[in-house]
Amino acid sequence: MNTLKSIAVLFCCSILFSNCSSNTDNVNVYVAKYKEDKLCAISYTYDDGMKEHYTLVFPEMEKRKMKGTFWVNGISINIDNEAVRDTGRASWPELKEMAIKGHEISNHGWSHANLTKISPDEVKVEIGKNDSIILANTGIPSRTFCYPYNARNEEVTALASEGRVGTRTRQFAMSYKLSPEDFDRWVNTLLETKDWGVAMIHGITYGYDAFTSPDILWNHFDQVKALEDSIWVGTFHDVGAYLKEFEELECEITRKGSKITITPHLALDKELFNEPLTMVVEEEGLKKVSAIQGEKELTVRSLPGKAMFEFDPYGGIIEVKVK
């Protein structure tokens, strides 16, 4: 890397780094690991399409401008709000309302079958049938997957991952078994380790793993909301896509005086991995930064000694001017 850097500097500073960052003449340019250069991320994920995910969680998250991921089983979702078969489950019109507001309604298998105990053909039906009903009822395709019972093996994982941003392979179970202090410890660890926390939540006031009081969850939301400058709360899809793009992105970065030219290269399926990324420019005494990608003037957020903007990783050359 150092040799490459020296050679590149000699021949007018065109540098290709796998992690898309460069430091020349005390100007730091890098793509943030998380949106808006936050320290860590949390995705709140809710299993099994419970009615209370609509009646309680949805308004509480909306109130705090947070978006969640809701894993549903098509077989148990009520077709409409009139002929309710299962009062414990949400309905498709309710899930559609949540999807329109930016929450993720995604695939937890058609009938909650343990995918490691059925044939590959049956696994395909469990996944495909649920994809179809989610798309038909919400208008938005399911791009992630959550294994029923968190049960998976290599074959199941390969089938469930096909054409998706990701599948849930690790989770932090939030339930009556943990105290508010346990939740605080989890958040503090995420901040320290700069990790992505994926919360798994089932029942709220009833059902599997329900809390002793829902206030425990809402208070936890308040604490995370108070740390919103440091914690990105995003859907499983959005954080998963961002991180994959961050890992795969390569950039050519050239600096000439006050002008920095960044050429991003990302070899991923842009239908799936379509999250804008955050670029950060750091320099002591930095006053003004402007950025253009193609014809588009990018919105720059300025902080002391630091500026950031979102860009399209497939959108071509970015011209940055630093003052």
Q: Is-contact 251 280, C-beta < 8 A?
A: no
Residues that bind Zn ion (CB under 5 A): 47-48
We find the least distance from the C-beta atom of residue 109 to Zn ion, in angstroms, to be 8
**178 CB neighbour count, 10 Å cutoff:** 17
Q: Whole-number minimum distance, CB 114 to Zn ion, in Å?
A: 10
Closest CA to 146 of 73, 207, 197, 255: 73
Distances (CA, A) of 264 to 22, 246, 267: 13, 11, 10
Compute the least distance from the CB of residue 207 to Zn ion, in Å.
11
Q: Which is nearer to Zn ion, 76 or 293 (CB)?
A: 76
Could you tell me how far CA 187 lies from the centroid of its own chain? 17
Nearer to Zn ion, 22 or 106 (CB): 106
Nearer to Zn ion, 27 or 123 (CB): 123
Q: What angle do CA 245, 251, 252 make, to 5 degrees?
A: 170
How far is it, in rounded angstroms, from Cα 183 to Cα 172? 10
**Cβ distance to Zn ion smaller for residue 72 or 320:** 72
d(CA 217, CA 198): 15
Taking the complex as a whole, how short is the minimal distance between the CB of residue 169 and Zn ion, in angstroms? 15
Cβ nearer to Zn ion, comparing 47 with 245: 47
**Residue nearest to Zn ion as judged by C-beta position:** 47
Go through the chain and tell me how many residues it has. Answer: 323
Q: Which is nearer to Zn ion, 44 or 311 (CB)?
A: 44
| Maximum distance among all Cα pairs of the chain, rounded to whole angstroms | 73
Closest contact distance (angstroms) between CB of 71 and Zn ion is: 7
Which stretches of 101-163 are DSSP H helices? 120-138, 154-161
- Minimum Å distance from CB 270 to Zn ion? 31
* C-alpha dist (Å) from residue 205 to 88, 115, 213: 11, 28, 7
